[in-house]
Amino acid sequence: MDLSAFDLSGKVALVTGATHGLGMAMAKGLGRAGAILVISGHSSDEKIAHAVEAYRAEDIEAYGYRFNVTDEAAVEAAVTRIEAEVGPIDILVNNAGIIKRIPLLEMDVSEWEEVINTDLTGVFIMSKAVVPGMIQRGGGKVINICSMMSELGRNSVGAYAAAKGGLKMLTRNMATEWARHNVQVNGIGPGYFATSQTEPIRVDGHPFNEFIINRTPAGKWGDPDDLQGTAVFLASNASNFVTGQVVYVDGGILATIGKPLGES
C-alpha cells in the first residue's frame, strides 16, 4: 500500500475545542501527519494562545481563533476569516462539546438546551459553514466526535447522551447527502481516557477507576494519543471510500456485555 495516502501535508484542518484534552491529542496527530492546524475555543484568548504555543513547540504550524460554535453569525465570520488568512478548510473536526452531569428530573430546560446546542446543533452550524466550500473545491473530510453515549445510556448524562446519539445519526445523514460531492463524513467515539479531567478518579481503590478497568477488555484507560491514528485515517485519502461510520476507540467496551463479579 502507498503510505502517502495518509499524508496530510498542506491540508488545512480546523479542529474545534482543541485547546486541551482529547481534542488537542487528535489535533496533534493531524499536525504530525503534516496538516496546518486551525484550532478554536471560546473561553479566552489566553487559553487559545497557550494551546497554539504548545502546537508550535512541536513544529506544527498552528493558528487559533476564538468563537462559539453555537453562534451562527460568529461561525460564518470566523470561517470566512480563516479561509482568507490561512487557507481553504480541507478537514473539519467537530470536537467542541460540553457535558452536564445532572439527573434528568433535576435538569432545567436551559441546561438541557445548552448541551444540545453545543454538542449537536453546533456541529450542524459548523458543517453548514464549512462544507459548501469543500463541495465547491471538489471534496473534503468531516469528523464528528461522538461518544460511547452515542450507543449507551448512563445515570445523570441524559442530555449528553441525547446529543451524542443524535450526532451519530447526523453523521450518517451528512454522509448520505454529501458523498456524491466527495465529502466523507465519519465519527470517532472515544472510550475512557487518561486526561487531566479524569486524573482524580484514576487512583487505585477509587470505585470508578476499578469499574473502568474491569469494564474495559483492554484492562486500562486509553492514552489520548491512541486517538491519533483513527483521526489521521479519517482525515486522509486512505479513507476516501469510508463514510457514514463511527469508529469507537474504546479498548473493547462496546464489544462486550462485561464480566461477572469476581472474574479475573
Q: pLDDT (tens digit, 9 = 90+) per residue, 170-193? A: 999 999 999 999 999 999 999 999
Reading the block at residue 62, the C-alpha cell is 498552528
Q: In degrees rounded to 5, what are phi and psi of residue 242?
A: -115, 120
pTM above 0.85, yes or no: yes
CA distance 95 to 235: 14
Q: Is residue 107 part of a domain?
A: yes
Active site residue 160: yes
Predicted confidence at residue 210, as pLDDT, reads 92
Helices 45-56 and 21-32 meet at what angle, rounded to 10? 40
In this structure, is residue 58 part of a structural domain?
yes
Q: Do the domain assignments include residue 153?
A: yes
Does 218 reside within a domain? Answer: no
What CA–CA distance (Å, rounded) separates 20 from 48? Answer: 9
CATH number at residue 132: 3.40.50.720
Catalytic residue among 55, 63, 160, 248: 160
Domain that holds residue 174: 3-193+227-248
Report if residue 161 sits inside a domain: yes
Q: What 3-state DSSP class applies to 94?
A: strand
Residue 259 confidence (pLDDT) = 76
Kindly give, in sequence order, each residue whose CB lies less than 8 Å from that of residue 264, ignoring residues fewer than 6 positions away: none
Question: Cell numbers at residue 8, please?
Answer: 496530510
SS3 call for 246: strand
Tell me the average pLDDT of the chain: 96
How many domains, the chain? Answer: 1
Query: CB 98: neighbour CB atoms within 10 A?
Result: 14
Residue 202 domain-assigned (yes or no):
no
Is 200 a member of any domain? no
Per-block mean pLDDT, blocks of 10 residues, the chain (264 long): 89 98 98 98 95 98 98 98 98 97 97 98 98 98 97 94 98 98 98 89 89 93 97 98 98 90 67
Rounded CA separation 171/186 (Å): 6
Task: Give which of 221, 232, 217 is closest to 196, Cα–Cα.
Answer: 221
Q: pLDDT digits over 24-75, tens only?
A: 999 999 999 999 999 999 989 999 999 999 999 999 999 999 999 999 999 9
